[in-house]
């Protein structure tokens, strides 16, 4: 199930350039749609405030912890809204029917009061929510279709180019043959005997070669050694799955989570601190954030061309979030768990054999090694892949080069002092500490 | 002076003419490997259809196929929790305190769980009573994962729903209300306050309910004697740590006598401290664990024991009781012991396992008279409550049609009753019969409704082992199948809404906790009430007449037996046979006979000679034995194999309970014969007649395997007197060699450059031969911790057993050292009357009553390991921390290491034991695999394996310390065996930590290494066995 995204370099280059071309034209169109203002407020400022204070609980179009805010300025009196936003609980206590209705509709969750907002601030926000400026989202959506067709197109052109090349090659061969026969005829016509010349040259080279035993011996040894070299090289990569990037049941992007949103690795892989397993996070952990993040809105600058080429549009990601909801049994509209779960069968990327013992907490908590040291730039990986070869040689190299982190660890005090004196070094490597012994990892 | 006794492992070794013994000593394989037979026969070779070219083709194809297959790795799926429970972190073990109370074994234990699966049982060190798990308790975790377990309720052999069982039972019970027919509960001993309350309420709810408690192996005599004297149906408790003199009349208190659990106290008193240790005298028929550990053991038949007890009582009280036909030597021994007891008075204790009310009453009287400190009748034990008389009357009622419903739990009378056929027939007269059971059994076959029962690790429960000492049972895993515990069913049938958990909490809040904290009690697993004696006893509704001592004595001293006497006993590994389907226990070699996968009749050498019974060894080292037919009162037991047991009292034979089960068992587990059939009137001693029958039984015995090539000084032993008075050089002399014409310690000469081990940890394991009782808990703990495979009877017979840890048992001659030495030194030349060739055989026959030593042997983790130097691929190497490391993935299976190991502790994987249906034990099915420890590799075929000194545990301890940024405290380092050993015989730790217990033990005078003169410098050391032979 290995996924090898770019088998063919040419198709990649062609595809990317095609998509690139189309994107440029699309984004040009999109930019014209911006900068439309309504009402007294300034939607640009409003957007800033909205993202800063409101977006945690409100979306424009969807129910979240609080109601969707698109068009809210037209739905209620402006004064009522001022009161509500600055102190909703006072409004509810005063017995305002609208306020109580909303309060009950949203599970009696009290809205955070914003007494510091001026009327202008609120107007700005409402200006934004009533007529949010178009985001580059439209452009991204539009790009999806051509990107897909662009991908297909590149495949066709690829074949065409190859076909043409083969045709040219065939033509060249035919031409060469023709020239050859023509020359031969000319030679025959002019009475030159080609066969004679050949015979005078003596033995063919391969026969001469075969007769020279020394050369044959050297050649054989050379070939055997070369063969052995390549055979060894080939065999050593058997079972080494560096670059293994399987397709997962849910397209989970480490790039978005760890890269764009800078979520700490160990927020999700918390057991790496205390256990031998880093652990695949349970789905309830995902829901800590995804209870409210129900759609992917992308980066401010919009999806990159590369993403689009792969089909990673906002809709695509939002679709993946829906897969999570289905797995964890979350009813988005009712905002509750249905209890019907479908555990996700992830494909394990890093597989150690049973006879090798590896403990994450030793490396993460005790040695303080960054996750990236072994797992590579995960925050840039759209699809998680195996970065390190995970071979024993790779482990050992690191153990030989890495100093033991002894600072502030009472466990190491005595043993480090004694051992470093014995070996006459300032700092001990993991290997000197005993990290190369067989049964430290094999038991 | 170290003993120069001749040690021998089997009485066959004493036979100088036995060629097998000699060849076993000299060769690894007794038989020539039949290469010639195979290759020499031209015809066979020629007639094979596979010619050379075909062979090469196959080789070529399979190599190519294998390498192609290796290119593509398998896709491994990983499924995380949808909602992760807070307390489960994948990869980190959780421990829960719980309690086993299966009617036979009662213990407070800790259960290690990984990702929600219980994988190992540990001792609960917080428990003051019953905190030490025996071999069966350690193995009980595997019983839960038995693939033959019942997965739901049955009605007349067809699976049904619980709801239909409930409906049927309830309507029947209600219809019986107010009628003359009664409802009977036939159950195991629960010793549970909540279950007692529940049954009382059940009685109230339905009226006319009869509750009969039934122990498969009855302690009725002791219970009745205690009840007669103290008014409560319970068992006196003994603390052997407080006893300086222990006199036992056939009480195997290191085994399962009166519920067992006495060995840790006993062992503490056996370690010589300040020149003192307890003295233990044992009078018994079968060679038991207690007899094997005794300082003086006197073999007596059961009838003689009774006379001896009466005589002994007479000696103590100064009255004259006739000694009857007691042998003179026994009389002398009794005289001497009686004098000692009178001298020691309150520091002495007398116990008896004689299955006779009179004997038990006399013993209680003696301890009262002595004022024995070790004897406790004020806070007695409740772990046996079976009542013979009640059972008898129930059977009579059933036959007479007076029982309307019979509900059974935790018992299997159709197998364990001697009159099982009668019981099964009587079941027909009962309108509703129901049995709760974990497996199909003889009983479940005979009843209408079968309730699939929980394993204790899936159940809630509580227990009161001893008055005032409570413990709690909590589930450590959700029920694996559609099962239910009996108590839950009772609650349902009483139309109670509450769960049994709520019910237990109620009981505890009302009667047990007295302001104590429930959560704390649940966490600890145990709860003790300070003033235990003040606690109200368990009510009994029977009344027993007081036993008059004078008439008891008269009856005892008049005891005689006609012909042979049979003593039925529970085996260390099998107990009452509840867990007969447990492969770990089946493969567990009996501590004394070293036979696994069997029970057998033990016969003394004299009787065997008379009856023409033999034990011999086949050429591959396997043990064979004659068959006999045992007849007790017209009941025959055919084809019972014979073991000639040194120390068996002539005129008596022994047979173990728990074997011969067939219903609901895998075919591999159907071993041995059912001794319960001879358990007439639930009395452990019977008059029996033996008749030799034809044929030979093939035992799976690890007895003659791995002979130590004739090298002595394996066991060092001395007496307390010598230990106290003589210089250490005399009783624990290290080997010496001549260097520059001077005698120097052999260990000071070395071909090797020693590695500096003074830095970091240096692990050592200390084994005290005085404290080791041979109970075998460590063997099973090692099995569980290290995923040691079970190989089965035929493989064990081929000496391919996989135990990483074995407990060697050596018999010795009881003769004085002086006599032995005089005899040995008198040898001149090889032949003739004083020839050494025949001389050892001519030593007085030690088989009559040998002394016994147990010696646990595992990899000795030699600092200069012979195995390491011969490995061609460096698969075994040494770690700085002292562990001899075995890298399985590197091993190519040459077995050089095993050949070069002087201790013979390496084990070779002849087959792939996991995922192999040829080995249908537990590793070939998904359920059985759940017990596998994920931190230890499951070894494959063709690799060598051995004790790793639990490196996974030491590494974990180190990692925990590193993570917390602290040093490791003494006692934190443990191996599976050392933590399983509640006797204190095994102590593990870091000898570089000079304050640690193990470092101090290493400095002890008693310390010695196994085969020290080879210079292997082991990291396992032993303590010289000291026997207290001081007569009064």
A251 — pLDDT class (breaks 50, 70, 90)? very high
If asked whether residues A286 and A375 sit together in one domain, one would say yes
If asked whether residues A230 and A260 sit together in one domain, one would say no
Amino acid A22: pLDDT: 45
Amino acid B328: pLDDT: 87
Residue written as token pair 């549970």: B192
CB spacing of B89 vs A274 below 8 angstroms = yes
CATH of the domain at A74: 1.10.760.10
Answer yes or no: is A111 within a domain: yes
d(CA B313, CA B338): 8
Task: Say which residue, A360 or B20, is predicted with more confidence.
Answer: A360
- Chain B residues touching A348 at Cβ < 8 A: 76-78
B63 touches chain A (CB under 8 A): no
Most A CBs within 10 Å, among B787, B884, B962, to test the A interface: B962
If asked whether residues A221 and A274 sit together in one domain, one would say no
Answer yes or no: is A9 within a domain: no
d(CA B527, CA B867): 49
Which residue range is the domain that position A232 belongs to? 203-236
Residue written as token pair 């199909």: B440
Query: pLDDT by residue (tens digit) across B356-377?
Result: 999 999 999 999 999 999 999 9
Give the range among A346-360, B151-165, B696-710 with minimum mean pLDDT. Answer: B696-710
Amino acid B991: pLDDT: 94
CB spacing of B83 vs A343 below 8 angstroms = no
A13 — pLDDT class (breaks 50, 70, 90)? very low
pLDDT mean over B246-263:
92
Amino acid B27: pLDDT: 64
B759 touches chain A (CB under 8 A): yes
A97 — pLDDT class (breaks 50, 70, 90)? confident
Q: Minimal Cα–Cα distance from A366 to chain B, Å? A: 5
Answer yes or no: is A420 within a domain: no
The ipTM, to two decimals, is: 0.83
Query: pLDDT by residue (tens digit) across B599-624?
Result: 999 999 899 999 999 988 887 778 89
Answer yes or no: is A186 within a domain: no
Bridge pairing between strands B635-644 and B526-528 = unpaired
Amino acid B180: pLDDT: 87
Query: pLDDT by residue (tens digit) across B770-779?
Result: 999 999 999 9
Among chain B residues, CA nearest to A413? B967
Instruction: Choose the closest CB to A343 out of B82, B756, B887.
Output: B82
A191 touches chain B (CB under 8 A): no
Amino acid B591: pLDDT: 93
- Chain A residues touching B70 at Cβ < 8 A: 238-239
Give the range among A364-368, B20-24, B207-211, B380-384 with minimum mean pLDDT. Answer: B20-24
d(CA B428, CA B417): 17
If asked whether residues A267 and A351 sit together in one domain, one would say yes
What's the number of domains chain A is made of?
3
d(CA B117, CA B111): 10
If asked whether residues A220 and A87 sit together in one domain, one would say no
Instruction: Please determine, for residue A147, whether its predicted confidence score (pLDDT) is greater than 50.
Output: no
Q: Which of A103, A130, A157 is the last residue of a domain?
A: A130
Instruction: Choose the closest CB to A418 out of B759, B886, B951.
Output: B759
- Chain B residues touching A422 at Cβ < 8 A: 756, 759
Average pLDDT, chain B: 87
- Chain A residues touching B958 at Cβ < 8 A: 411
d(CA B692, CA B139): 36
pTM: 0.83
Query: pLDDT by residue (tens digit) across B681-725?
Result: 999 999 999 999 999 999 998 866 433 334 457 788 888 988 999
Contact between B601 and B632 under an 8 Å Cβ cutoff? The reply is: no
B20 — pLDDT class (breaks 50, 70, 90)? low
Answer yes or no: is A353 within a domain: yes
Contact between A262 and A18 under an 8 Å Cβ cutoff? The reply is: no
Task: Say which residue, A28 or B626, is predicted with more confidence.
Answer: B626
A44 — pLDDT class (breaks 50, 70, 90)? confident
Write out the DSSP string of B880-948: TTS-EEE-GGG-----HHHHH-TT---EE--S--TT-TTS-SSTTSHHHHTTS-TTS----TT-EE---
Instruction: Please determine, for residue B249, whether its predicted confidence score (pLDDT) is greater than 90.
Output: yes
Our CA dihedral for B200, B204, B206, B212, rounded to 10 degrees, sits at: 30
Among chain A residues, CA nearest to B948? A443
Q: A–B: how many Cβ contacts below 8 A? A: 154
Mean pLDDT highest for which of A127-131, A242-246, B672-676? B672-676
B87 touches chain A (CB under 8 A): no
Instruction: Choose the closest CB to B962 out of A275, A356, A409.
Output: A409
Among residues 299-358 of chain A, which lie with CB inside 8 Å of chain B? 327-329, 341, 343-348, 351, 353-357
Amino acid A257: pLDDT: 92
Instruction: Please determine, for residue B30, whether its predicted confidence score (pLDDT) is greater than 70.
Output: no
Query: pLDDT by residue (tens digit) across B722-774?
Result: 899 998 888 888 888 888 888 888 888 888 777 888 888 999 999 999 999 99
Instruction: Please determine, for residue B563, whether its predicted confidence score (pLDDT) is greater than 60.
Output: yes
Answer yes or no: is A88 within a domain: yes
Amino acid A69: pLDDT: 83
If asked whether residues A229 and A262 sit together in one domain, one would say no
- Distances from the Cα of B963 to the Cαs of A337, B332, B462, B968, B969, in angstroms? 38, 64, 37, 11, 14
Instruction: Choose the closest CB to B79 out of A241, A343, A408.
Output: A343
If asked whether residues A230 and A309 sit together in one domain, one would say no
Amino acid A35: pLDDT: 41
Amino acid A332: pLDDT: 85
- Chain B residues touching A284 at Cβ < 8 A: 81-84
Instruction: Please determine, for residue B791, whether its predicted confidence score (pLDDT) is greater than 80.
Output: yes
If asked whether residues A223 and A261 sit together in one domain, one would say no
Q: Minimal Cα–Cα distance from A249 to chain B, Å? A: 11
Residues in chain A: 443
- Distances from the Cα of B209 to the Cαs of B405, B407, B413, B433, in angstroms? 9, 11, 19, 14
- Chain B residues touching A395 at Cβ < 8 A: none
A84 — pLDDT class (breaks 50, 70, 90)? confident
Answer yes or no: is A171 within a domain: no
Give percent of chain B above pLDDT 90.
64
CB spacing of B885 vs A438 below 8 angstroms = yes
Those residues with Cβ within 8 angstroms of residue B506's Cβ, 6 or more apart along the chain or in another chain: B498
If asked whether residues A310 and A283 sit together in one domain, one would say yes
B865 touches chain A (CB under 8 A): no
Kindly give the interhelix angle for A137-189 and A9-31, rounded to the nearest 10 degrees. Answer: 140
Amino acid B6: pLDDT: 60
Is A9 exposed, middle or buried (CB count within 10 Å of its CB: 0-12, 13-18, 19+)? exposed
CB spacing of A271 vs B90 below 8 angstroms = yes
Instruction: Choose the closest CB to A410 out of B79, B959, B965.
Output: B965
B965 touches chain A (CB under 8 A): yes
If asked whether residues A376 and A260 sit together in one domain, one would say yes
pLDDT mean over B34-55:
68
Q: Minimal Cα–Cα distance from B529 to chain A, Å? A: 38
Instruction: Please determine, for residue B187, whether its predicted confidence score (pLDDT) is greater than 70.
Output: yes
Query: pLDDT by residue (tens digit) across A371-421?
Result: 999 999 999 999 999 999 999 999 999 999 999 998 889 999 888 999 889
Amino acid A7: pLDDT: 45
Amino acid B803: pLDDT: 93
CB spacing of A280 vs B952 below 8 angstroms = no
If asked whether residues A302 and A342 sit together in one domain, one would say yes
Our CA dihedral for B327, B328, B334, B339, rounded to 10 degrees, sits at: 170
Among chain A residues, CA nearest to B953? A443
Give the range among B48-52, B316-320, B699-703, B914-918 with minimum mean pLDDT. Answer: B48-52
Amino acid A93: pLDDT: 82
Answer yes or no: is A29 within a domain: no
Instruction: Please determine, for residue B912, whether its predicted confidence score (pLDDT) is greater than 90.
Output: yes
User: In DSSP terms, which residues pair with B566 in a beta bridge?
Assistant: B653, B686
If asked whether residues A216 and A267 sit together in one domain, one would say no
Instruction: Choose the closest CB to B952 out of A277, A362, A443.
Output: A443
Give the range among A98-112, B299-313, B880-894 with minimum mean pLDDT. Answer: A98-112
Among chain A residues, CA nearest to B936? A443
A361 touches chain B (CB under 8 A): yes
Amino acid A62: pLDDT: 74
Amino acid B554: pLDDT: 85
Q: Minimal Cα–Cα distance from A251 to chain B, Å? A: 15
Instruction: Please determine, for residue B562, whether its predicted confidence score (pLDDT) is greater than 70.
Output: yes
In chain B, what are the domains? 235-381 (3.40.228.10), 564-701 (2.40.40.20), 707-814+849-1027 (3.30.70.20)
d(CA B336, CA B329): 11
- As a whole number of angstroms, the longest Cα–Cα distance in chain A is 121
Q: Minimal Cα–Cα distance from B513 to chain A, Å? A: 36
pLDDT mean over B917-937:
92
Q: Which of A366, A382, A401 is the last residue of a domain?
A: A401
């Amino acid at each position: 199930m290995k996924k090898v995204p770019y088998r063919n370099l040419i198709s990649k280059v062609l595809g990317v350039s095609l998509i690139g071309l189309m994107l440029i034209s699309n984004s040009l169109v999109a930019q014209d749609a911006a900068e439309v203002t309504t009402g007294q407020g300034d939607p640009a400022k409003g957007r800033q405030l909205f993202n800063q204070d409101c977006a945690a609980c409100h979306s424009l179009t969807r129910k979240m912890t609080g109601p969707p805010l698109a068009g809210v300025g037209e739905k209620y009196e402006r004064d009522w809204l001022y009161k509500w936003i600055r102190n909703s609980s006072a409004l509810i206590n005063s017995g305002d029917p609208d306020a109580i209705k909303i309060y009950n509709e949203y599970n009696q969750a009290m809205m955070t009061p914003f007494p510091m907002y001026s009327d202008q601030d609120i107007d700005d926000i409402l200006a934004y929510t009533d007529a949010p400026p178009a985001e580059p989202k439209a452009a991204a959506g539009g790009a999806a279709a051509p990107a897909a067709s662009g991908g297909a197109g590149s495949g066709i052109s690829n074949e065409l180019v190859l076909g043409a090349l083969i045709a040219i090659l065939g033509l060249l061969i035919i031409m060469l043959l023709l020239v050859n026969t023509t020359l031969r005829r000319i030679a025959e016509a002019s009475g030159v005997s080609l066969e004679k010349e050949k015979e005078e040259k003596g033995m063919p080279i391969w026969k001469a070669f075969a007769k020279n035993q020394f050369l044959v011996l050297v050649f054989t040894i050379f070939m055997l050694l070369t063969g052995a070299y390549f055979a060894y090289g080939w065999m050593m990569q058997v079972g080494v799955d560096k670059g293994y990037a399987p397709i997962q049941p849910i397209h989970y992007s480490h790039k978005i989570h760890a890269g764009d949103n800078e979520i700490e690795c160990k927020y999700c892989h918390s057991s790496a601190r205390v256990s031998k397993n880093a652990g695949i996070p349970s789905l309830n952990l995902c829901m800590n954030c995804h209870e409210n993040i129900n759609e992917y809105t992308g980066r401010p600058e919009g999806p990159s061309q590369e993403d689009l080429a792969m089909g990673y549009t906002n809709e695509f990601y939002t679709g993946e979030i829906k897969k999570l909801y289905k797995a964890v049994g979350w009813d988005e509209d009712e905002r509750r768990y249905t209890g019907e779960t479908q555990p996700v069968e992830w494909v394990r990327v890093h597989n150690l054999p049973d006879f090798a013992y590896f403990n994450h907490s030793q490396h993460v908590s005790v040695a303080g090694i960054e996750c990236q040291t072994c797992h590579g730039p995960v925050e840039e990986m759209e699809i998680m892949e195996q970065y390190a070869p995970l071979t024993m040689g790779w482990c050992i190299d690191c153990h030989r080069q890495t100093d033991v982190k002894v600072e502030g660890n009472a466990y190491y005090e005595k043993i480090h002092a004694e051992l470093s004196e014995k070996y006459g070094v300032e700092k001990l490597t993991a290997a000197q500490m005993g990290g190369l012994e067989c049964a430290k990892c094999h038991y | 002076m170290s003993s120069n006794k001749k040690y021998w492992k089997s009485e066959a070794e004493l036979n100088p003419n036995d060629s097998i013994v000699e060849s076993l000593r000299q060769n690894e394989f007794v038989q020539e490997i039949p290469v010639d037979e195979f290759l020499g026969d031209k015809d066979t070779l020629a007639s094979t259809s596979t010619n050379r070219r075909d062979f090469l083709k196959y080789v070529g194809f399979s190599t190519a196929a294998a390498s192609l297959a290796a290119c593509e790795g398998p896709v491994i799926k990983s499924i995380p929790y949808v909602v992760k429970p807070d307390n489960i972190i994948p990869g980190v073990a959780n421990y829960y305190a719980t309690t086993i109370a299966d009617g036979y074994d009662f213990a407070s234990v800790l259960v290690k769980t990984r990702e929600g699966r219980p994988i190992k049982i540990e001792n609960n060190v917080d428990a003051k009573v019953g905190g030490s798990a025996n071999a069966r308790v350690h193995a009980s975790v595997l019983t839960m994962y038995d693939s033959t377990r019942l997965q739901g309720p049955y009605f007349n052999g067809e699976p049904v729903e619980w709801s239909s069982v409930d409906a049927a039972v309830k309507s029947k019970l209600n219809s019986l209300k107010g009628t003359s027919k009664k409802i009977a509960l036939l159950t195991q001993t629960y010793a549970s306050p909540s279950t007692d309350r529940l049954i009382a309420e059940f009685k109230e709810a339905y009226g006319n309910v009869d509750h009969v408690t039934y122990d498969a192996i009855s302690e009725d005599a002791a219970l009745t004697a205690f009840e007669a004297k103290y008014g409560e149906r319970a068992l006196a408790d003994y603390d052997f740590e407080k006893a300086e003199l222990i006199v036992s009349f056939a009480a195997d208190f290191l085994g399962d006598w009166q519920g067992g659990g006495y060995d840790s106290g006993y062992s503490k008193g056996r370690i010589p401290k300040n020149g003192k240790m307890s003295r233990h005298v044992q009078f018994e028929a079968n060679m038991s664990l207690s007899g094997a550990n005794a300082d003086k053991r006197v073999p007596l038949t059961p009838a003689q024991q009774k006379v001896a007890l009466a005589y002994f009582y007479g000696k103590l009280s100064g009255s004259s009781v006739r000694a009857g036909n007691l042998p003179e030597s026994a009389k002398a021994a009794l005289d001497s012991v009686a004098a000692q007891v009178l001298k020691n008075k309150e520091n002495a204790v007398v116990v008896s396992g004689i299955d006779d009310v009179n004997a038990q009453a006399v013993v209680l009287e003696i301890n009262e008279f002595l004022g024995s400190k070790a004897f406790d009748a004020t806070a007695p034990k409740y772990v046996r409550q079976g009542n013979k008389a009640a059972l008898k009357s129930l059977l009579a009622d059933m036959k007479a049609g007076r029982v309307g419903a019979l509900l059974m739990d935790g018992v299997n009378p159709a197998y364990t009753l001697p009159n099982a056929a009668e019981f099964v027939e009587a079941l027909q007269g009962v309108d509703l019969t129901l049995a709760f059971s974990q497996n199909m059994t003889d009983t479940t076959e005979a009843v209408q409704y079968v309730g699939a029962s929980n394993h204790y690790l899936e159940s809630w429960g509580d227990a009161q082992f001893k008055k005032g000492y409570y413990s709690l049972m909590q589930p450590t895993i959700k029920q694996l199948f559609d099962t239910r515990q009996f108590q839950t069913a009772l609650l349902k049938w009483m139309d109670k809404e509450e769960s049994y958990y709520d019910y237990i909490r109620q009981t505890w809040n009302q009667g047990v906790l007295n302001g104590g904290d429930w959560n704390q009690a649940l966490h600890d697993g145990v709860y003790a009430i300070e003033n235990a004696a003040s606690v109200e006893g368990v009510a009994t509704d029977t009344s027993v007449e007081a036993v008059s001592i004078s008439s008891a004595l008269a009856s005892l001293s008049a005891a005689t037996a006609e012909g042979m006497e049979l003593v039925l006993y529970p085996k260390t590994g099998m107990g009452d046979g509840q867990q007969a389907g447990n492969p770990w226990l089946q493969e567990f070699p009996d501590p004394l006979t070293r036979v696994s996968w069997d029970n057998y009749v033990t016969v003394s050498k004299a009787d065997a000679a008379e009856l023409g019974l033999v034990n011999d060894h086949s050429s591959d080292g396997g043990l064979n034995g004659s068959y006999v037919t045992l007849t007790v009162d017209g009941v025959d037991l055919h084809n019972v194999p014979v073991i000639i047991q040194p120390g068996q009292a002539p005129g008596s034979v022994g047979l173990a309970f728990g074997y011969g089960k067939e219903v609901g068992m895998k075919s591999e587990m159907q071993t041995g014969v059912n001794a319960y059939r001879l358990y007439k009137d639930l009395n452990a001693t019977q008059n029996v007649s033996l008749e030799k029958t034809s044929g030979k039984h093939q035992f799976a015995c690890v007895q003659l395997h791995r002979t130590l090539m004739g090298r002595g000084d394996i066991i060092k032993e001395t007496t307390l007197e010598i230990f106290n008075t003589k210089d250490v050089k005399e009783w624990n002399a290290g080997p010496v060699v001549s260097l520059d014409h001077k005698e120097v310690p052999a260990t000071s000469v070395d071909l090797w450059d020693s590695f500096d081990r003074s830095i970091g940890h240096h692990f050592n394991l200390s084994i005290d031969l005085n404290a080791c009782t041979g109970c075998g808990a460590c063997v099973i703990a090692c099995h569980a911790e290290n995923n040691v495979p079970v190989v089965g009877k035929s493989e064990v017979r081929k000496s391919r057993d996989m135990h990483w840890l074995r407990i060697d048992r050596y018999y010795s001659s009881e003769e004085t050292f002086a006599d032995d030495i005089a005899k040995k030194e008198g040898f001149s030349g090889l032949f003739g009357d004083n020839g050494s060739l025949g001389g050892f055989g001519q030593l007085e026959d030690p088989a009559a009553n040998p002394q016994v030593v147990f010696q646990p042997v595992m990899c000795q983790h030699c600092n200069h390991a012979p195995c390491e130097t011969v490995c061609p691929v460096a698969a075994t190497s040494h770690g700085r921390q002292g562990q001899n490391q075995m890298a399985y993935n590197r091993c190519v299976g040459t077995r050089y290491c095993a050949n070069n190991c002087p201790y013979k502790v390496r084990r070779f994987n002849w087959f792939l034991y996991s995922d192999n249906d040829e080995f249908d034990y537990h590793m070939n099915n998904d359920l059985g695999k759940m017990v596998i420890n994920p931190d230890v590799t499951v070894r494959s075929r063709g690799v060598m394996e051995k004790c790793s000194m639990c490196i996974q545990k030491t590494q974990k301890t180190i990692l925990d310390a590193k993570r917390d940024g602290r040093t490791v405290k003494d006692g934190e380092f443990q191996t599976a065996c050392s933590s399983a050993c509640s006797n204190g015989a095994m102590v593990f730790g870091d000898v570089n930590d000079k304050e640690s217990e193990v470092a101090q033990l290493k400095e002890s005078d008693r310390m010695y290494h196994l085969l020290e003169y080879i210079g292997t410098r082991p990291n396992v050391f032993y303590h010289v066995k000291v026997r207290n032979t001081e007569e009064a």
